[in-house]
Structure 1
Amino acid sequence: MSPILYYGVPSGCSFGSIVALEWSGQPYRLARVNMPEDMQTELFAAINPVRETPALQTARGDYLAESLAILNHIGATQGALDAGISFEQGTREFDELNRMLAFLNTTFFGSFSSLWWLLEHESDEDTKRALTEYGRVRVVRAHQELERMLGDKPWLLGEHRTLADAYFIGIARWTKYHNVVDRRDFPNMQRLFDQLEADPAVVFAHAIEQQRPATSAGRFEGEIGIAESVAFARAA
């Protein structure tokens, strides 16, 4: 059966996994997860006990969570290898891809954590000021480091797009929620961001999130409800 990606809205980091699936050329389906309400259900806990997105129901019917695990699972498919968005384990290219994915997952993603907490929780003014400044410093430093790592390369790892670029675009858009950095101050990152925003797979992922008419550049087979997907897996 085709894998099912459980993607979170609004603006989940699962966006990158949608882009990766599009680029891989493998058939897949999507299950929409409204955050946080759907994640708090016992039904979703059966998919991912941590109650976070993304999650993936693999072609075997197993459940897999965490972006890095999902992206590497997608990257191991023949379609992804043929498309050049991932590499065989044990190669230098695979190591470089994993290093970049790890940076994006820890330093880049993590730099936004206190700012997301402020948006999702009530707090007093002193706490808001402290967490905002803490988040600003972390986000700026993460942008500075990624700007240096990217340099004048067309993509994060060089001449060709990879899973790292797919993951990057899902996180980089978060600056619109937090007024602590102007991406235009980082011209290399802005160039990559603009290039990715014009990509058909990214355009498709935005349309899916916003429930607008969407044209797949890959082998998207449609959406499925969370309950239906669980019942389907159990039957299989």
Structure 2
Amino acid sequence: MTTPSSATAPTLFYGVPSGCSFGSIVALEWLGQPYRLSRIEMPEMVTSDAYRRINPVAETPSLLTADGQIISESAAILNHIGARGIAKGIGFAQGTAQFDRLNQMLGFLNTTFFNAFVPLWHILEHGSDANEAAVLREYGRAKVIRAHALLEAMLGDQPWLLGEHKTLADAYFAGIARWTRYHDVIDRRDYPNLQRLYDKLEADPAVVFAHAIEKQKPAVTAGGFLGEVDMGEALEWLPLAA
């Protein structure tokens, strides 16, 4: 059994299937520093009393940091990772123009791009009668189309969302953009800039790794991944945060 002293590496609690925590896994791989993962099945485990000890909101991702603090919300976790990855260019120092641009893009991805899919997820996760489902689907479709059109224009002919180098924003995009496979409301090929970015990310070793982790297949890490830990075992480390 892993001893409490082994909790000196961050542990990311990631949601499956297809949680937005995918982006945090990608970011940790890009960072290349030691970390662990803890798999949280949705909706069963994420709504359990045990997981609510980690995140009372019952959402993923959550990050147990090396010093025993818990961070929730993707943007906060990504910025935490980014602060450790400034030298690699995936994040930037607070107070710089690049930091502001990154936060602006993360804000858009969270409040507009992510949010566009919410009505469609509601249909799948909670069920709806035919009339309600039709209304929610059309509402969601309009939101997804708008979000893709806006991001398509923002990206333009740049190689990555913020320009010449990949950042945390691209990692977050990778986890959300794949949701079109569940909700057949658009064809990403109608947005060639986004399709180009998506294809490039899908070929990235960190994204390939994150897919393999979610599917519980052999995964090749860039060097930081120390393995998976059961949620029950990770809970034993929580008193260390006190």
In structure 1, the partner of 2:5 is none
SS at match of 2:12: strand
Q: Tell me the SS of whatever aligns to 2:38.
A: strand
Residue 91 of structure 2 corresponds to which residue in structure 1?
86
Q: Which runs of 4+ in 1 moved over 4 A?
A: none
**Cα root mean square deviation, aligned:** 0.8
1:103 to 97, 103, 108: 108
User: How do 1:1-236 residues align onto structure 2 when only pairs under 5 Å count?
Assistant: 1-77=8-84, 80-234=85-239
Identity percentage of aligned residues: 64
TM-score normalised by the chain length of structure 2: 0.95
Contact 2:68 2:237 in 1 (8 A): no
Report how many residues are paired: 234
> CA distance change for structure 1 residues 108 and 218 in 2, over 3 Å: closer, same or farther?
farther
Cα separation, partners in 2 of 1:218 and 1:140, compared to 1, 3 Å: farther
- The answer to whether the 8 A contact 2:82-2:92 is kept is yes
Q: Separation in 2 of the partners of 1:217 and 1:142?
A: 32
Structure 1 length-normalised TM: 0.98
Residue type of the partner of 1:37? Answer: E
Structure 2: distance between partners of 1:8 and 1:68: 16
- Aligned partner of 1:34: which letter? E
- 8 Å CA contact 2:160–2:197 kept in 1: the answer is yes
Paired residue type of 1:121 = H
Tell me whether 116-125 or 178-187 shows the greater mean CA deviation. 116-125
Which segment is superposed worse, 135-144 or 34-43?
34-43
In structure 2, the gaps of 5 or more residues are 1-7
Conserved in 1, the CA contact under 8 Å of 2:54 and 2:70?
Answer: yes
